[in-house]
Chain A
């Protein structure tokens, strides 16, 4: 089993929809949880960063971590065409600088 599992999609939604993106992981040592956004032919950029169970909100984006279930989610409210990108979850052990990435989910928001 891969350390981080992420449904690659693709996911296509209408503008204004609520989007839910998810990852599961297997290693209990993972303590830091991130979501990166990658536009076509660009490098990934950090979108959300959290290190505890619960929710973290930033504008239209909410990151949710459930350590007991080893499950992380990213919710996008009122999705916009500009949100069309690939979203990658990334997870890190405490004391390590290395990230383990999910395969990424390609999202298209249709006007």
Chain B
């Protein structure tokens, strides 16, 4: 069955370290998204991609970067982790175009703690 996976599921890191969160989908979807979810803020869009080599900034992109070298993967990098980036991170994917329902399918999330 097609799915979307995230790794690691839990991560503890120190302030200032570079961290990369992986997202892999097997639906062959064009669109991929990264969100963070925090109490009191809901889901906020960090970065998104509409296809290979395409990346765009979302609402809360400062301190984060992404790259899309193939259809299946959109890794999220925290360049220099800060305590304010402690959060739960969700990856999602969707299809667009004729016949596409454009429903976003979410991964299970990565719980990141920056100490």
Contact = CB atoms under 8 A, between A and B. Distances in A.
Say if A and B assemble together: yes
Interface in B46-91: 48, 50, 58, 90
A9 B28 CA distance: 37
Contact of A49 (B58, B103, B107): B103
Interface residues of B, number: 24
A98 B48 contact: yes
Interface in A48-78: 49
B103 A46 contact: yes
A22 B92 CA distance: 24
Nearest to B56: A98
Interface of A: 6, 8, 32, 34, 41-46, 49, 88, 92, 97-99, 101-104
- Pairs of residues from A and B, 6 with the lowest C-beta to C-beta distance, nearest first: A43-B106, A103-B42, A101-B43, A97-B31, A46-B103, A44-B106
Interface of B: 31, 33, 40-45, 48, 50, 58, 90, 92, 94, 96, 101-109
